[in-house]
């Protein structure tokens, strides 16, 4: 967040705050810092007593069914309102009339959105120039057949960009395919770009995300302390109950609370709170459901005495090189019953403890507001403004959120790369991918952000369902959702514009990804195409590779995954067979008289067997990435006993990578003398190794990562955090 951005946001919010103030509201707010003299307004929740609804799957299901019976379904919807908020800076006011786009009767809303998205660029070509530039360029084509609930926001975005939508598909390939659910929504795409990565849904399921975060917590406990302690059920039930019993025995006054979340659940479905392992539901037998049980954050930051969470939109523009963008504007979702720390009495109060819109919308206290800074769903900037007005250092909060996002993406990228090479193996024609993710973040009372979950398919719906008369529902525009979501989709499209794309940066390249000298340090205005004069500047901010230096040292599992992928051998595979594992050990010279090939086989069998039981949907036999990572950590620990785990892993990675590098140069010399024409990929394959240059860990990346790691060891975490610009 730049200073300018913060300034603009604050100015906007000041006027929004004034807007709220007129409505006359309660000013008490739980923020742990001193209050400034002018306290921003808070909201009044009208009406009835909160319902003490038990948190059960059944009840939610029933409510959903009720709605479905009217031919509608509930999703992440929002409040109503005009969205014609006051203007931000002078420039914005001056240009206000130019920016108003009357699309589907939403002119006012779009005007508001432009304001929230920040400054406008100074380039405003005349209408004639714009028209002639637009004429010269073939419009970008977007296949929207499978867009599902994103359709409305997508259509508005395409129209704003003057691109061409194909609602019924197109015989010729499109530039961009917009899928509503998964990469596989349409199986026949061989070119262009798809807005989903293969494997993202699987990777972000609660259990898989927890596993990936745990691996990172083992390596970097301080860096990954933003993810609550979690256990995977039923497999870790014993560990969970033993650990909790020990904690309670040690200090009888400690009575922690835990939240149980079914794997693959969403919208709060099936979630419940417990205070003792004995309260877990069905932990054994055929009905035992996989779930994550997690430490409950019992001291969240409150506004107007209510718990809330943040929905932040994050774009992964490319996996290799890793490019991450964060939307400067997001949503906040509020509970509808005043918060109290968990007690046996209130554990079942769903409207007090869960911030899901889909649950709270059924509370009598849910507030549909016309304003962005009141009501049960608000913009993130309006909440940040209120915090800033209370004296909170929101630049610091925002830095911490950026760090959380980058670290989380770094945790999931290794496995995503395995999925990617399986679905789009090197040499096979296929599209490139990008994806918008929804990060759910809770602020603790001490202002530390905590990651709750990442949604692979965040709702991009811009209407919400309203009961216009008993039992009759209608979709009405939701200004707050439109404000945020159209900006995110439109600017994602702008970043993915094939006319602006530099293939050498986002595509696999034969020589491997050169880190450092080829990092695309795109300024946000550089992605502007000539016919974008009237569009606001991007609401998406690049955070990676921008902050490579601060975070690159964390990419150790990714380097381990690069080894794994290299030895997978057969294109499209996701698991390593015993022979390939042996080849890995031999090639990297990891066996010796103390660790024979027989021990290698035992290690393989032991770890693979355990993981095949742990991973429910393990269709393929063999060693998956997570099992390989465990084996790799074991080998690192054996070889470098005196070091701490992360240093053990770094040392083993350097050893393996050096072996592979020397092997490759021997190969290079041999093949140069045999045939100058033989391409590098073919040469590598003669060794039975996959040669996806996009996915292997090339020498410069490794060197940069190792150097970053050493540098990081000398820096204090606080310094690093401060280095993340806003
Ligand atoms: P779902 O995908 O079903 O929405 P979440 O993980 O987002 O599941 O959890 C639902 C809600 O429960 C969150 O929006 C948040 O309000 C609350 N919640 C989840 N995890 C925690 C936690 N560890 N501590 C406190 N509250 C939590």
Higher per-residue confidence, 30 vs 220: 220
Residue 258 Cα to ligand 1 midpoint, Å, equals 11
CB 268 less than 6 A from any atom of ligand 1: yes
Contact between residue 631 and residue 652 where contact means Cβ atoms under 8 Å apart: no
CB 267 less than 6 A from any atom of ligand 1: yes
Instruction: Give residue 305's region: left, alpha or beta (phi > 0; psi -120 to 50).
Output: left
Helix intervals (H) in 569-698: 578-587, 597-614, 625-639, 645-674, 680-685
The owner of tokens 């292997």 is 696
The residues near 375 (Cβ < 8 Å, ≥ 6 apart) are: 43, 79, 81, 334, 367, 368, 369, 480
CB 445 less than 6 A from any atom of ligand 1: no
In angstroms, the Cα distances linking 493 to 405, 538, 641, 724 are 21, 11, 49, 26
For a mutational test of ligand 1's pocket, the pick from 229, 259, 306, i.e. the residue with the most ligand atoms closer than 8 A to its C-beta, is 259
Distance CA 92, CA 112 (A): 10
What pLDDT does residue 69 have?
A: 33
Residue 442 Cα to ligand 1 midpoint, Å, equals 9
Residue nearest atom 12 of ligand 1, based on CA coordinates = 354
Residue nearest atom 19 of ligand 1, based on CA coordinates = 452
Higher per-residue confidence, 637 vs 54: 637
The residues near 602 (Cβ < 8 Å, ≥ 6 apart) are: none
Q: How confident is the model at residue 707 (pLDDT cuts 50, 70, 90)?
A: low
How many of the other CB atoms lie within 10 Å of CB of 444?
Answer: 15
What pLDDT does residue 66 have?
A: 36
Question: What are the structure tokens assigned to 459, written together?
Answer: 């709702």
Burial 263-281 (b: 16+ CB within 10 A, else e): bbbbbbbbbbbbbebeebe
Among 232, 304, 300, which residue's Cα sits nearest to residue 262? 232
Helix intervals (H) in 78-205: 90-99, 107-116, 127-136, 151-161, 200-203
CB 374 less than 6 A from any atom of ligand 1: no
CB 354 less than 6 A from any atom of ligand 1: yes
Higher per-residue confidence, 598 vs 721: 598
Share the mean pLDDT of the chain.
76
Residue 392 clears pLDDT 80, i.e. is over it = yes
CB 76 less than 6 A from any atom of ligand 1: no
Lowest mean pLDDT among 58-72, 95-109, 708-722: 95-109
CB 376 less than 6 A from any atom of ligand 1: no
Tell me the per-residue pLDDT of 588-627, one tens digit each, with 9 for 90 and over. Answer: 999 999 999 999 999 999 999 999 876 655 557 899 999 9
- pLDDT (average), residues 441-469: 93
Q: How confident is the model at residue 530 (pLDDT cuts 50, 70, 90)?
A: low
CB 331 less than 6 A from any atom of ligand 1: no
CB 438 less than 6 A from any atom of ligand 1: no
Residue 99 Cα to ligand 1 midpoint, Å, equals 38
Residue 354 Cα to ligand 1 midpoint, Å, equals 6
Residue 455 Cα to ligand 1 midpoint, Å, equals 12
For a mutational test of ligand 1's pocket, the pick from 268, 346, 359, i.e. the residue with the most ligand atoms closer than 8 A to its C-beta, is 268
Atom of ligand 1 nearest to the CA of 296: 24
Contact between residue 470 and residue 66 where contact means Cβ atoms under 8 Å apart: no
What pLDDT does residue 369 have?
A: 77
CB 335 less than 6 A from any atom of ligand 1: no
Residue 469 Cα to ligand 1 midpoint, Å, equals 32
Q: How confident is the model at residue 393 (pLDDT cuts 50, 70, 90)?
A: very high
Atom of ligand 1 nearest to the CA of 268: 3
Q: How confident is the model at residue 370 (pLDDT cuts 50, 70, 90)?
A: low
Tell me the per-residue pLDDT of 381-391, one tens digit each, with 9 for 90 and over. Answer: 999 999 999 99
The owner of tokens 């990936």 is 212
Distance CA 542, CA 409 (A): 13
Cα 38 → chain centroid: 36
Higher per-residue confidence, 464 vs 196: 196
Residue 453 Cα to ligand 1 midpoint, Å, equals 7
CB 333 less than 6 A from any atom of ligand 1: no
Contact between residue 373 and residue 13 where contact means Cβ atoms under 8 Å apart: yes
What pLDDT does residue 104 have?
A: 31
Residue 58 Cα to ligand 1 midpoint, Å, equals 18
Atom of ligand 1 nearest to the CA of 294: 23
What pLDDT does residue 576 have?
A: 95
CB 309 less than 6 A from any atom of ligand 1: yes
Which helix (H) or strand (E) segment holds residue 463: the answer is strand 463-469
Residue 513 clears pLDDT 70, i.e. is over it = no
Distance CA 598, CA 604 (A): 10
Tell me the per-residue pLDDT of 618-659, one tens digit each, with 9 for 90 and over. Answer: 557 899 999 999 999 999 999 999 999 999 999 999 999 999
For a mutational test of ligand 1's pocket, the pick from 64, 208, 227, 271, i.e. the residue with the most ligand atoms closer than 8 A to its C-beta, is 271
Residue 481 Cα to ligand 1 midpoint, Å, equals 20
Distance CA 566, CA 659 (A): 13
Q: How confident is the model at residue 528 (pLDDT cuts 50, 70, 90)?
A: low
Q: E strands, 48-95, where?
A: none
Which helix (H) or strand (E) segment holds residue 410: the answer is helix 394-423
For a mutational test of ligand 1's pocket, the pick from 452, 453, 456, 457, i.e. the residue with the most ligand atoms closer than 8 A to its C-beta, is 452
What dihedral do alpha carbons 459, 464, 465, 468 form, nearest 10°?
Answer: 180
Residue 382 Cα to ligand 1 midpoint, Å, equals 22
Residue 156 clears pLDDT 50, i.e. is over it = yes
Tell me the per-residue pLDDT of 464-499, one tens digit each, with 9 for 90 and over. Answer: 877 778 878 888 888 899 999 999 999 999 999 998
State phi, psi for 195 to the nearest 5 degrees: -80, 20
Atom of ligand 1 nearest to the CA of 270: 3
What pLDDT does residue 531 have?
A: 58
CB 413 less than 6 A from any atom of ligand 1: no
Residue 279 Cα to ligand 1 midpoint, Å, equals 18
Residue 48 Cα to ligand 1 midpoint, Å, equals 25
Residue 285 clears pLDDT 80, i.e. is over it = no
What pLDDT does residue 194 have?
A: 98
CB 458 less than 6 A from any atom of ligand 1: no
Lowest mean pLDDT among 34-48, 328-342, 479-493, 657-671: 34-48
Lowest mean pLDDT among 92-101, 362-371, 671-680: 92-101
- pLDDT (average), residues 522-534: 53
What pLDDT does residue 230 have?
A: 98
What pLDDT does residue 241 have?
A: 96
What pLDDT does residue 132 have?
A: 57
What pLDDT does residue 108 have?
A: 30
Instruction: Give residue 179's region: left, alpha or beta (phi > 0; psi -120 to 50).
Output: beta
CB 454 less than 6 A from any atom of ligand 1: no
CB 444 less than 6 A from any atom of ligand 1: no
Tell me the per-residue pLDDT of 238-273, one tens digit each, with 9 for 90 and over. Answer: 999 999 999 999 999 999 999 999 998 899 999 999
For a mutational test of ligand 1's pocket, the pick from 348, 356, 455, i.e. the residue with the most ligand atoms closer than 8 A to its C-beta, is 356
């Amino acid at each position: 967040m730049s200073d300018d951005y913060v300034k603009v946001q604050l100015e906007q919010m000041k006027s929004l705050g004034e807007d709220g103030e007129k409505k006359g509201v309660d000013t008490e707010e739980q923020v742990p810092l001193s209050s400034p003299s002018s306290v921003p307004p808070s909201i009044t929740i009208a009406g009835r007593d909160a319902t003490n609804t038990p948190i059960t799957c059944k009840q939610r299901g029933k409510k959903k069914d009720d709605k479905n019976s009217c031919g509608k379904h509930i999703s992440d919807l929002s409040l109503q309102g005009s969205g014609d908020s006051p203007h931000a800076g002078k420039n914005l006011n001056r240009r206000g009339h130019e920016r108003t786009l009357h699309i589907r009767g939403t002119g006012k809303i779009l005007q508001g959105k432009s304001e929230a998205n920040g400054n406008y660029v100074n380039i405003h070509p005349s209408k004639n120039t714009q028209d002639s530039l637009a004429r010269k360029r073939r419009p970008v084509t977007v296949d929207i057949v499978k867009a599902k609930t994103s359709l409305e926001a997508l259509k508005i975005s395409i129209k704003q960009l003057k691109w061409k939508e194909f609602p019924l598909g197109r015989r010729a390939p499109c530039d961009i395919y917009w899928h509503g659910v998964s990469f596989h929504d349409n199986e026949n795409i061989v070119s262009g770009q798809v807005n989903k990565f293969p494997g993202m849904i699987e990777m972000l399921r609660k259990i898989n995300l927890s596993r990936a975060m745990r691996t990172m917590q083992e390596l970097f406990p301080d860096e990954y302390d933003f993810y609550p302690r979690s256990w995977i059920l039923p497999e870790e039930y014993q560990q969970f109950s033993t650990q909790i019993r020990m904690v309670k025995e040690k200090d009888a006054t400690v009575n922690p609370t835990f939240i149980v979340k079914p794997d693959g659940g969403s919208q709060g479905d099936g979630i419940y709170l417990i205070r003792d392992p004995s309260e877990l539901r069905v932990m054994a037998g055929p009905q035992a459901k996989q779930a994550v049980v997690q430490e409950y954050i019992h001291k969240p930051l409150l506004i107007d005495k209510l718990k809330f969470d943040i929905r932040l939109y994050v774009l992964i523009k490319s996996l290799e090189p890793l490019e991450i963008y964060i939307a400067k504007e997001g949503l906040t979702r509020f509970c509808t019953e005043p918060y109290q720390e968990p007690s046996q009495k209130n554990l079942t109060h769903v409207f007090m403890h869960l911030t899901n819109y889909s649950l709270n919308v059924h509370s009598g206290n849910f507030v549909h507001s016309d304003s962005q800074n009141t009501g049960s769903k608000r913009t993130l900037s309006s909440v940040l403004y209120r915090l800033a007005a209370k004296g909170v250092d929101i630049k610091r909060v925002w830095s911490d959120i950026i760090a959380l996002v980058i670290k989380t993406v770094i945790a999931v990228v290794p496995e995503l790369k395995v999925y990617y090479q399986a679905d789009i193996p090197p040499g096979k024609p296929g599209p490139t991918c990008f994806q918008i993710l929804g990060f759910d973040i809770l602020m603790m009372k001490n202002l530390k952000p905590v990651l709750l979950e990442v949604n692979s398919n965040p709702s991009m719906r811009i209407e919400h369902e309203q009961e216009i008369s008993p039992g009759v529902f209608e979709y009405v525009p939701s200004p707050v959702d439109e404000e945020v979501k159209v900006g995110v989709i439109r600017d994602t499209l702008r970043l993915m514009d094939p006319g602006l794309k530099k293939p050498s940066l986002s595509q696999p390249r034969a020589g491997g990804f050169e880190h450092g000298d080829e990092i695309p340090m795109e300024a946000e205005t550089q992605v502007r195409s000539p016919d974008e004069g009237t569009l606001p500047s991007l609401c998406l901010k690049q955070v990676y590779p921008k902050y490579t230096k601060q975070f690159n040292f964390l990419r150790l599992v990714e380097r381990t995954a690069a080894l794994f992928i290299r030895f997978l051998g057969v294109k499209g595979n996701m698991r390593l067979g015993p022979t390939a594992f042996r080849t890995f050990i031999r090639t990297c010279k990891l066996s010796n008289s103390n660790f024979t090939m027989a021990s290698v086989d035992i290690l393989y069998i032991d770890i693979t067997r355990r993981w095949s039981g742990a991973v429910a949907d393990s269709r393929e036999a063999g060693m998956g990435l997570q099992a390989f990572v465990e084996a790799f950590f074991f080998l690192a620990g054996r070889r470098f006993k005196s070091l701490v785990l992360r240093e053990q892993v770094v040392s083993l990675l350097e050893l393996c990578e050096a072996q592979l590098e020397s092997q490759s140069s021997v190969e290079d010399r041999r093949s140069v003398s045999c045939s100058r024409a033989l391409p590098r990929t073919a040469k590598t394959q003669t060794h039975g190794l996959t040669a996806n240059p996009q996915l292997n860990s090339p020498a410069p990346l490794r060197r940069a990562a190792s150097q970053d790691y050493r540098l990081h060891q000398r820096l204090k975490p606080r310094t690093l955090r401060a280095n993340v610009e806003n």
